[in-house]
Structure formats: C-alpha cells, structure tokens
Amino acid sequence: MHKARKFSLGCFLRGKFYVFGGRDDNDKHFTCGESYDETTDSWELIPDMLKDMTVIAHSQSPPLIAVVDDNLYMLQTTLNELRVYDINTNIWKKVGVVPVSANAAFGWGIVFKSMGNRLLVIGTSHSWHRKTVVHSCRPSPDVEEQHLEETKHWCVGAELPQFIYNCCVMFS
C-alpha cells in the first residue's frame, strides 16, 4: 500500500480490493483510498476518495460500508445519509436518508451491512422512545431516494445496546 493506515475499512468491489478511511500515525484522518489489483499485483492510490465526508469527532467510527450488486454504499453517519460510490468519477452520490439515529454515538451505534441483494440498517429510531429498529432496502445506484422499509419480524422485542461494537449478519 502507498499509505500505512489504522481504523480503515476494506471491501472487494469489481474484482479489486479497496481500502479507505482510517488515520495515519498522528491520528490525522485520510481522505484517500487505495485499490489492489491481484492480476498486476499493484496498489493504486485514489486521491480524495472521502473528500466530502464530514468528520466531527476524533472518536468517530470508521466509514460504514456495504457492497450490494457490485456497488459500494456508505452510511454517512454525521448526516444520516445513504450514499453510493461512482467508481468512474470518484464521487459519492446521496441516495437517501436513513430513518435511524446514525449520528447519536458518532456512528458506533449502527449496524450497516449487505445481506444478499439488500442493505440492512439496525439502530435506534428518531422517535422519543428510541426503540431498536431494523430497516432494509433493495438499493439501486440510479434511484435518487432509496426507501428503507422497517422490517417488523426481525429483532421483535430485542433491546440492543446504544454502542454496537461489531456485527456479523448471516442468513441461509
């Protein structure tokens, strides 16, 4: 890699491995990303991959990402926005607002995962009683406003902690 980084994220996308986000040894946030091409055994630097992402606190979570149908989605926690990455223009396009409080704990209290061909968002509602809610959608990068539907049959009666450390989603 071109840059040593900690607290970064990685994913496979369109045949390459992408790494982005994170901090350097002085805890400065990176806005660049990198992609690894196994066929050429080389890393490519992607300048300003996260240039428009807002960082409001030193303790903010790494970017929350998910890949669905070979498209990279991110939950911009400071704004509660769902975004999709255009790999050709290096631009994140807003495609919706999530109906959970992603900004409540600097992004740490949210689950944002792909599950087959769907995006899954688990967090606390915006309402005054702050119950745990599960939302999902079948995203499309061409739709300007994704509609996340509350999934009533999952986590019924479950109370999740405000701070979610790690989450793995499996289904059969």
pLDDT, tens digit (0-9, with 9 covering 90-100), for 48-80? 998 877 655 556 667 788 999 999 999 888 788
Residue with more model confidence, 109 or 82: 82
Residue appearing with tokens 């599950």: 115
Domain that holds residue 13: 1-51
In 10 A of CB 91, how many CB atoms?
Answer: 14
Kindly state whether residues 22 and 105 are assigned to the same domain: no
Q: Is there a single domain that holds both residue 24 and residue 61?
A: no
Residues 83, 7: one domain? no
Same domain assignment for residues 92 and 147:
yes
Whether 30 and 2 share a structural domain = yes
Q: What is the pTM of this model?
A: 0.81
Arithmetic mean of pLDDT, 113-128: 78
Do 129 and 168 reside in the same domain of the chain? yes
37, 86: one domain:
no
Total domain count for the chain?
2
Instruction: Indicate if the pLDDT at residue 172 is higher than 50.
Output: no
pLDDT of 90 reads 93
Q: In 3-state terms, what secondary structure has residue 78?
A: coil
Are 100 and 61 in a shared domain?
yes
169 and 85 within one domain: yes
Banded pLDDT at 98 (limits 50, 70, 90)? confident
Comparing CA positions, the residue from 47, 110, 118, 48 lying closest to residue 78 is 110
| 123 shares a domain with 171 | yes
d(CA 92, CA 69): 17
